[in-house]
Amino acid sequence: MNLKSVLSKETISLHLKGTTKTEIISELLDILVAANKIPDRASALTAIMEREEKMSTGMKHGIAIPHGKSASIHDLVACIGISDAPVEFEALDQQPCRIFIMTLSPIEKTGPHLQFLAEISLLFKSSEKRAEMLTAATPEAILRILSE
């Protein structure tokens, strides 16, 4: 999967303001709404929060990947947000997160969703890439980092 086919400069925010998990998720959804990627914010929020209740999507190394499946989504959509301050996200390593990657996909399609998550998880095994993302000055720089 080519991450650039799912992400664009309109779906990347470098300065998330939220200070809680709920605020970050809301802000990420706002990015997708503003980019006309999701038609029904309420059902998307429900899908993300239901998934989050099962188990936190806070991973390791300061990364969280809130995701869900919704009947209102017809193709995989995603966005990235970087927070200037660490946010508690109940991560696996008990550390706060600063890099947030949200994805929503159709209920009936599992392939693209799993492929996207696998690709993202490979990228973030690199401490150099994580550091570059945290200091990126533009959404275009994030896209470049992801495509290297």
Per-residue pLDDT reduced to its tens digit, 89-138: 999 999 999 999 999 999 887 777 778 878 777 767 889 999 999 999 99
Give the range among 24-33, 79-88, 106-115, 133-142 with minimum mean pLDDT: 106-115
Task: Give me the CATH number covering residue 11.
Answer: 3.40.930.10
Question: Residue 1 has what pLDDT?
Answer: 55
Helix axes of 21-34 and 41-54: crossing angle, nearest 10 degrees: 140
**Residue 63 sits in which domain range?**
3-147
Confidence of residue 2 (pLDDT cuts 50, 70, 90): low
Q: What Cα–Cα distance (Å) separates residue 89 from each residue in 43, 64, 94, 99, 124?
A: 22, 7, 8, 11, 17
pLDDT tens digits, one per residue of 5-22: 789 999 999 999 999 999
| Total of domains in the chain | 1
